[in-house]
Amino acid sequence: MSAGVEVPTTVAPFAELESTPARAGTFATNLRAITVGVEDVQAWAAGSGAPSWAGRTRDAHDHARTRFGHRLDRAEAALERAVVATDRFEDRLQRLTRERVTLERERSDLNGEILALAALVLGAQAVPVDDPVALADLRQRARLLTARAASLRSAIVVWTVDAVAAETDYVRALATLDSLAEGSDAAADPGRVEVDQLVRRLERLAGDPAAVAAWWAALTRAQRQGLITERPGLVGNTGGVPIRDRDEANRAAVYHDVDHLGRRDPDELSQEQRRRLENAEHVREALARYRHKLDPTSGEELLHVIVYDPTAHDGDGGVAVGLGDPDTADHVSVTVPGLTTETDSLLGNLDDLDDLYDAAVDADRGEVASVYWGDYDAPSGLTTDPLDYLGVVDDAKAEVGGERLADFLDQLAASDRGDAAHLTAIGHSYGSATLGQALADGIAVDDAVVVGSPGVPAATVADLTAADVWVGSMDNDPVSLLGEDGTRNGVLGHDPATDDFGAERFATGDGSPRIEDLLDNHRSYFEDESLANIARVVVDDDAAVTVQPHRGDPGGGYLPLEALLAMSAQDSAMSWLVERGEDLLATGRWLP
């Protein structure tokens, strides 16, 4: 070399994990679902007495039932240990994945510096050999890079040993559970978790998320997993339980419902069971669709099932899912949908949630979690349930939904770890009325975003909330023109896009004025500039939000409801809207 400097060699990449956190998580879900099923059978066996039998026949039945119960208990005990081992293995894989990301980043940076030094030494501008100061500097840089490379190679060796050990330990743990004798030992273990006592304690604490969070944190891994498989519905829907554990419980419940009900003859299922199965299948489909979306740092699936209550709201089901972990994120958003919020609408709403999550992540202002909250009884669609649909012109469902939303936000706050996240609540359409009710009740959020709003329950921001309120409202969105604006009464409250209300109206565009596009305008707030602005609010980048004038301001635009109805009258397909709108103008109410 012209400068007489020994340039260190670059550090080669190292192998990926053969096992991944996502795969381990899927296996753990299946094990939990199986365990739930075994416990169901065990409970059935325990309750299957023969009160009409007597004598030796009854004795024989009870003896057989007892033996069957003991065998199930051995299987359950073995599965409990397998679940704990798999959960531990998943955690180790997540740690290894995080470490690998760090090592890969260090390897890339180091190799870049090595190649830069090599280019300097070997290039046309090589340092002359008669410049001792420059040569000493190069040699010092080479020594430091060589030491860093040696240290990194050692760290990679340690990581590789840990990865092999994680898989070896897991295989060894499962190998101790593959015989009847080992199942018997597990069942007889005096250290086996007494789950019934834990269930009773959790039931007493439910309703106090802060107390639940403190109690849950003191449990062992075996106790937590025992609770998850014993009562997945309780754990998965109890505020204060960490989001990851709620997700594990709810996934187990979903997969159990699909397996247990899906294998039965559909004609033998009750109406409630059919709705439960349908709702479970919708959630499972969402999990399958987003299985590829992984946390780049930990390697675990990004989608978390935070609420799963398949029989709630008269069979519509209650569900909340999140991309990212609200317990650890710097910025958390909770989106409240509107009309036709049912479990069967989950997949369509997840598309918007996914776009919002990606836009917020791309802003690169910290870790993000985006939550879809569909756990209230929103009005059904006109064609689905005409009578329930009429609730869209009344705020009763919004009031109840607002109370439930407030409870959910309290739950998120209780399980949050570290510094409190920047929290944004987003309400779309009837969901904005629901959010408005929650804001009026005093929910603690940093920002509130209402889009396509038919009205909120206060005349000004100051009367509604102490949070910053942002409004997305297209002038060619007919739903956004229904709020009270000083010239007419609103069906669900006040138009938040007017200057008098006092919120910031962010840019959304006005949408197409074509009659056939009006309702598409109402559904397009999670697109283009409107989506970008919502994401900026979510990550607390207020200065980057683009705005447009308030409705009624010069240049702000305004499409009176009367003009909308005149336009609609030209299209027979809009006749229903015309008739209902005329009722609204005449009476101040949207009549059936």
**Residue 193 maps to a domain:** no
283 domain-assigned: no
Q: In the numeric block, which tokens belong to residue 258?
A: 């699909």
Res 49: pLDDT? 53
| Domain end marker among 141, 172, 188 | 188
CA separation for the pair 373, 375 (Å, rounded): 6
3-class secondary structure, 450: strand
Among residues 231, 234, 369, 360, the alpha carbon closest in space to that of 304 is found at 369
Question: Of 163, 188, 213, which residue sits at a domain end?
Answer: 188
**Predicted local distance difference test score (pLDDT) of residue 408:** 97
CA separation (Å) from 291 to 14, 21, 26, 99? 25, 12, 9, 22
Q: What is the pTM of this model?
A: 0.86
Q: Domain span at residue 45?
A: 21-188
Q: Give domain status of residue 310, yes or no.
A: no
| Residue 152 belongs to some domain of the structure | yes
Number of domains in the chain: 2
Helix, strand, coil shares of the chain, percent, nearest 5, are 55, 10, 35
Q: What is the CA radius of gyration of the chain?
A: 30
pLDDT for the residue numbered 389: 35
**Two structure tokens written together for 253:** 């419940």
pLDDT of residue 385: 46
Is 323 inside any structural domain? no
DSSP-derived letter for residue 102 is: H
Q: Is residue 506 part of a domain?
A: no
Residue 225 lies in a domain: no
Look-up of token digits 């049912």: 342
451 found inside a domain: no
Q: Which residues of the chain have pLDDT under 70?
A: 1-3, 45-70, 124-129, 340, 379-395, 484-491, 516, 552-592
Specify the 3-state DSSP secondary structure of 482. coil
Q: Of the candidates 188, 205, 238, which is a domain's last residue? A: 188
Instruction: State the pLDDT at residue 493.
Output: 81
The tally of CA atoms less than 13 A away on the side-chain side of residue 299 is 24
486, two tokens: 């000083």
Give the contacts of 180 (CB within 8 A, at least 6 positions apart): 74
